Structure 1
Amino acid sequence: MDLGEGITVGIAAARVGVTVRTLHHWDRIGLAGPSGRSSGGYRLYLAGDVERLRRVVAYRGAGLSLEEIGDVLDVGSSEVGAVLRKRRAELAAEMDDLRRLDERLARLTDAHERGVLLSGEEQRAAFGDRWRPDWVDQAKERWGDSAQWAQFAEGSAGRTAEQWRAQADAMRQWECDAAEALGRGVEPDADEAFALADRHQSVFGAWFPITRSMQVCLGRLFESDEGFAAHYDQVYPGLAGLIREVFDAAALAEGIDPGCPVWS
């Protein structure tokens, strides 16, 4: 059977490189179907039908939806360019969105792997001259598998150098205020000390949220870890131990046994 007499759906599908099921779908939605009939009443694709199928395949390969392809095929030739330009503009916008999404994913990936997306010089500018960039690597090695590291990284991905500096300033101010209050003898279970504990939760929460029990764990870390203890000693001698006492007292006031802190 030659094309002049029409061809079956199977032959038409093979000629344009799609499945029979696809041609049945295009016929069902009115996009492209057979217009001929055999002597036995079977529907056949005529030459014009196959040409339309080829155009559908071409535009589908260019990324147009079936609805958009129908618009292209059913308008005059002079209007096809306008339809295609509109689709290209839409595609350009989609590509911009995808590029921005890729940039966000790249920053998230880097943040999970590096922690702080600042150069060593930028880190020292934000955190002070005593800051060592390798401390971030040590933190990742120590806590990289924790949910808190993930939270820290997610916040880090969107944080600018100015925001890092502002957060570091807030933490330094808290340390100075804690040193001033505890240095003049404020008791760990005094309201002023409890206010310091609450404020620490708020300031520290910019890195990741902490419960009171987690705060107690941090207090013990500040006191027992040589690096943390040395840092707080530079602010005020013995400050790490005083902070730990405040956190313990705040936990006890809320019915939490500071002797058995849980990181949760």
Structure 2
Amino acid sequence: MLHMSGDIVDRERICRCLQTLQSTSPSYLLLASLDAARAQLNENPETIFNKAMELAVETKNHVKSIPGISMLESSSFPNFPVMDPLRLTFGFRQLGLSGYEADEILYGDQMVVCELVGTQSITFAINLGTCRKHIHRLVSGLQHVSATSLSVEKVEKRVEHSGLAPFADINISLNPREAFFARKRKVSIGESLGKICGEIICPYPPGIPVMIPGEIITERALDYLQHVKDNISGASDPLLSSIVICDM
């Protein structure tokens, strides 16, 4: 749903773009949902999010006192104009946990479902249907994660996850078109180092490809993929024991 006000954007250009991208078979359930949400916002636009905002602030205040759990706040980005106050992102690096590990604990113990999980953090969404009972369950779950992970055994086995991040040292051997039409073969993951990747390998979440066709496979990328292999989407081998390469 696009909201256009005044002449800020070129409406004809928007229409041309929509003709290129939009479906000729829209989901009428989705359209009805969007219209219902619009009507709900129109009834009391000034106060409809007040309760959700209060619950978000309450959650942040509770989590600040939990040892080992950090929180993404606007103060971390002084040059960024605004952050969504209803999206709460918590980090678990100090506990030696990845976001995936913390998410498993939260879901297994408290049935808390996150919006997005990453290598070092989890993001939760507060919405109009969130109530204080949900907040208490989330806070209780985070307290449990902290208490169990701060034990002596956990601290001694702490794992550093800072190297498991998107990479800047990408080396492209073939452009995507060349890689698409190149002959390909499947090799074991151990044999793939230094070869040209022939498929898109993408952990989800966050849904950002780690390797794309035409890219040289590096040790750093393979180490990262081994860490997140339970969350791989779209790879020819979902267990990631093998990788498709360009046979050059």
Which is richer in strand? 2
TM-score, length of structure 2 as denominator length: 0.24
TM-score, length of structure 1 as denominator length: 0.23
Q: Which has the higher contact order (CA 8 A, sep 6+)?
A: 2
